[in-house]
Chain A
Amino acid sequence: MLNEVLAEVCRRYGARLAVADRAQSLSYEELASRAGNLAGQIPTGARVGLCATNSVDLVVAYAAVLRAGAVPFLVDRAMGPAELDHIIGSCALDLVVHDRPLPPDHRAGTSRAFGSHTLTPYSVAPRARLLDTTEVCRFTSGSTGFPQCIEFSGDAVHSAAANWMRGTGLGGDDRVLCYAGLSNGLAFNTSLLAVFLAGASLHLATGLPAAGSVVRSISGTAATRLTGFPALYDSLARRTPPPGTFADIRVAVSSGARLSTETAELLRERCGLHVSDYYGIAETGPLTFATGQTGGLGAPLPGVGLRTGAGGELLVRSASMGSRYHNAPGVFEAKLDADGYYRTGDLGHLDRGGLVLTGRISHVLNVGGRKIDPIEVRRVLCELPGVDDAVVFGAAKPGGDDMVVAVVASRAAVTAAELRTGCFERLAAFKVPERVHVVETLPRNSIGKPTLAAVRAIAGVSEH
Chain B
Amino acid sequence: MLTTSALRDRLAQLISEASDGTVTVQEVLAHENELSALGIPSLSQLRAIDAIENEFGVALDLEAEDTSYLDSIKGLTGYLAEQGLSLDG
Contacts and interface: CB of A to CB of B under 8 A. Distances in A.
Contacts of B45: 208
Contacts of B60: 210, 212-213
Interface stretch (A57-65, A231-239, A258-266): A231-239
Interface stretch (A309-317, A355-363, A430-438, A442-450): A430-438
Nearest to A399: B20
Q: Which of under 10, 10 to 19, 20 to 34, or 35 or more describes the interface residues of B?
A: 20 to 34
Nearest to A232: B46
B62 A397 contact: no
Nearest to A205: B63
A420 B59 CA distance: 32
A399 B46 CA distance: 13
B44 A430 contact: no
Contacts of A15: none
A231 B43 contact: yes
Contacts of B47: 235, 238, 399, 401
Contact of B49 (A206, A208, A402): A208
Contacts of B44: 401
A368 B42 contact: yes
Contacts of A270: none
A416 to B, nearest CB: 11
B59 A216 contact: yes
B43 A367 contact: yes
B63 A22 contact: yes
B49 A239 contact: no
- Chain A interface, >50% SS class: mixed
A210 B62 contact: yes
Given A434-B22, A435-B22, A212 B59 contact: yes
A235 B50 contact: yes
A210 B50 contact: yes
A302 interface: no
A420 B44 CA distance: 17
B67 interface: yes
A210 B39 contact: no
Interface in A202-221: 205-213, 216-217
A424 interface: yes
B11 to A, nearest CB: 15
B63 A207 contact: yes
Contacts of A234: 46
B55 to A, nearest CB: 12
B20 A401 contact: yes
A216 B45 CA distance: 19
B46 A210 contact: yes
A205 B45 CA distance: 17
A239 B41 contact: no
A403 interface: yes
B21 A398 contact: yes
Interface of B: 20-22, 39, 41-47, 49-50, 53-54, 59-63, 67
15 contacts: A22-B63, A207-B67, A208-B45, A208-B62, A210-B46, A210-B49, A213-B49, A213-B62, A231-B43, A231-B46, A234-B46, A235-B47, A367-B41, A401-B41, A403-B22
Given A206-B62, A207-B67, A208-B62, 6 more contacts: A213-B60, A235-B47, A238-B50, A401-B44, A430-B41, A434-B39
The 7 closest A-B pairs by CB, nearest first: A207-B62, A210-B49, A397-B20, A399-B20, A401-B43, A213-B62, A212-B53
